Structure 1
Amino acid sequence: MTINCKGNLVDLSAPKVMGILNVTPDSFYDGGRYSDIQKMLSHVEKMLNDGATFVDIGAYSSRPGADPVSEVDELSRLLPIVEALLKEFPEILLSIDTFRSNVAEQCLHRGAALVNDISAGKLDEKMLSVIARFKVPCIMMHMRGNPRTMSDQTQYDDLIEDIHFYFSERLAMARKMGLNDMIIDPGFGFAKTLRQNYELLQDLDLFQSLDVPVLVGLSRKSMIYKTLKSDPENALNGTTALNMLALSKGAKILRVHDVKEAMECVQLYNQMS
């Protein structure tokens, strides 16, 4: 199982790690930490040295109830950092976390390698055509509504079956638009209750039938720290435990804040493969 990133085939037969770089002031865990470009460059260098294959950068907080961000503000936050990262690390495989086609297009023009769309192209009808034109991989996440409304949209006839159908439809649309490399993200914490998140993790292996790589983003999420009666700062151990479970159920990419610890999970998992 491979994906084509900037002309290089990335082999996902062994799981990979995607480091998170949030440049929003209100992200649930690291909001505002990397507003200084030098701090951000140092943090990304550490993630790459720790083993990250991809770095995912976002400028629009998707936490539940997050305030909207204008496209102008999103671009003004993103573009200088995208340019700085690609100048400092020319070979970096930079993923752009956005649901706006124009934001994706401007970042892809500058050398980004993937697009990570929390709406799988549903919030901007031009998104899939932009990704197809640039011939880059697309991460398609499951979500209902938008970050402000998703917490009220947790009613499912059958959670796993409904999400499976959603991905079948979005993947078919993407292929019709000419996309070649798709990755699915079941969207832990997006339009799902705490119980539903654990049901989804338990049945994660059922999404293997879609025959595309599965990315999981469990890092320091509320499904962990609420269960443990803790907070995001103290959710690393829980994140590690669930990341290992996700790997055992077929996850090919771990999207995380803590790259070193996720790489240790992958290394230990590989010993069992």
Structure 2
Amino acid sequence: MPKVTKKTLNCRGRLVSLDTPVVMGILNVTPDSFFAGSRISLDETVDVAQRMLTDGATFLDIGGYSTRPGAADISPVEEADRVLPVIEAILDSFPDALISVDTFRSSVAKQAVESGAVLVNDVAGGILDPAMFETVAALGVPYVLMHMRGTPATMQSMTTYQNLVTDVIDELAIRLAELRSFGQKDIIIDPGFGFAKTPAQNFLLLSNLDSLRHFDEPLLVGLSRKTTIWKTLDISADKALNGTTVLNTVALTRGASILRVHDVREAVEAIKLTQHLKFF
């Protein structure tokens, strides 16, 4: 298995090593996230952040806009009003916490970084805000480039591919070249499981995840409690932790550097165990 060339992220002067995979904990400050267990209020966020950090999270990913199909659209102002107080509250209690902002809007990304976030996680890979690439490059923070088609409302009608794996690679390559043209240095690739992909396509993409290491950039995998797991197992999202751990383990064996999860302790344990496998 080829090695990822880039093994560090510069998070506003703090160098984060990816020699061993790390965990990104999900904190959704939305009333309509697909997984009820991840919907938390401002008052709860500090306690949840403390638990995730104690369990071993390297990053905390704060999101104020639900991208599940059928979720309500909200304005950039409302999204910022949801995430900025959370970022500030967490950093007041845990000044060394590494905060990621989950947004596809450049204005929200800019405000979040100004409030202390050190990473931008864009589910749209720049396609929903033409100012995103220039903005994040100017901010000088790592950026998660995710593969998606359409919008959160239309993406599940855009699942036709000639060849799923090569099409995803080709579409990411176009976005990556544009992003690099702005001088962006630290880039993380996310194949976008569940975004413009059917469950069968998600399994195929996961099986071929190591093909995305062609980019020589760290890979982020976000499979936590997603539809692919709980529909395949005929259960609900709240019962999908075991399935999540299974697929996270597969992702780790295929080169994932960051696991984005609702359940930090279990993901950290998966990383610790897979580090003992001989191909590492």
- Structure 1 partner of 2:3: none
- Structure 1 partner of 2:198: 193
Once structures 1 and 2 are overlaid, which stretch shifts more, 82-91 or 143-152? 82-91
SS of 1:247's equivalent?
A: helix
Q: Is the 8 A contact 1:23 1:78 kept in 2?
A: yes
Question: What percent identity do the matched residue pairs reach?
Answer: 53
Q: Which of 258, 264, 275 is the matching residue for 1:270?
A: 275
Q: Is the 8 A contact 1:25 1:32 kept in 2?
A: no
Distance in 2 between the 1:81 and 1:9 partners?
24
Q: Is the 8 A contact 1:23 1:31 kept in 2?
A: no
Unaligned stretches of 5+ in structure 1? none
Residues 110-259 of structure 1 mapped to structure 2, 5 A cutoff: 110-259=115-264
Q: Which of 81, 85, 88 is the matching residue for 1:76?
A: 81
- Deviation at residue 31 of structure 1 after TM alignment: 6.5
Q: Is the 8 A contact 2:21 2:258 kept in 1?
A: yes
- Deviation at residue 167 of structure 1 after TM alignment: 1.4
Q: Is the 8 A contact 1:137 1:181 kept in 2?
A: yes
Would you say 1:103 and 2:108 are equivalent positions? yes
Instruction: Kindly report structure 1 stretches of 4+ aligned residues shifted beyond 3 Å.
Output: 30-33
Q: Is the 8 A contact 1:67 1:148 kept in 2?
A: no
Q: Deviations 1:136-162 (Å, cap 9, x if unpaired)? A: 000011111011000100001111111
Question: 1:32–1:259: structure 2 CA closer, same or farther, 3 Å change rule?
Answer: closer
- Deviation at residue 235 of structure 1 after TM alignment: 0.3
Residues 38-117 of structure 1 mapped to structure 2, 5 A cutoff: 39-117=44-122
- Structure 1 partner of 2:25: 19
SS of 1:271's equivalent?
A: coil
Count of aligned pairs between the two proteins: 272
Aligned residue identity for 1:169: I
Q: Deviations 1:143-185 (Å, cap 9, x if unpaired)? A: 1101100010000111111100111111111110010000011
Distance in 2 between the 1:88 and 1:35 partners?
16
Distance in 1 between the 2:153 and 2:246 partners?
29
Distance in 2 between the 1:11 and 1:203 partners?
25
- Structure 1 partner of 2:41: 35
- Deviation at residue 111 of structure 1 after TM alignment: 1.2
- Deviation at residue 30 of structure 1 after TM alignment: 3.2
Distance in 1 between the 2:106 and 2:35 partners?
26
Aligned residue identity for 2:153: R
Question: 1:196–1:32: structure 2 CA closer, same or farther, 3 Å change rule?
Answer: closer
SS of 2:79's equivalent?
A: helix
Distance in 1 between the 2:22 and 2:98 partners?
12
The TM-score, its normalising length taken from structure 1, stands at 0.97
- Deviation at residue 25 of structure 1 after TM alignment: 0.2
Distance in 2 between the 1:129 and 1:30 partners?
34
Q: Is the 8 A contact 2:60 2:100 kept in 1?
A: yes
- Deviation at residue 80 of structure 1 after TM alignment: 1.0
Q: Is the 8 A contact 1:24 1:31 kept in 2?
A: no
SS of 2:246's equivalent?
A: helix
Distance in 2 between the 1:78 and 1:8 partners?
22
Once structures 1 and 2 are overlaid, which stretch shifts more, 257-266 or 80-89? 80-89
Once structures 1 and 2 are overlaid, which stretch shifts more, 53-62 or 80-89? 80-89
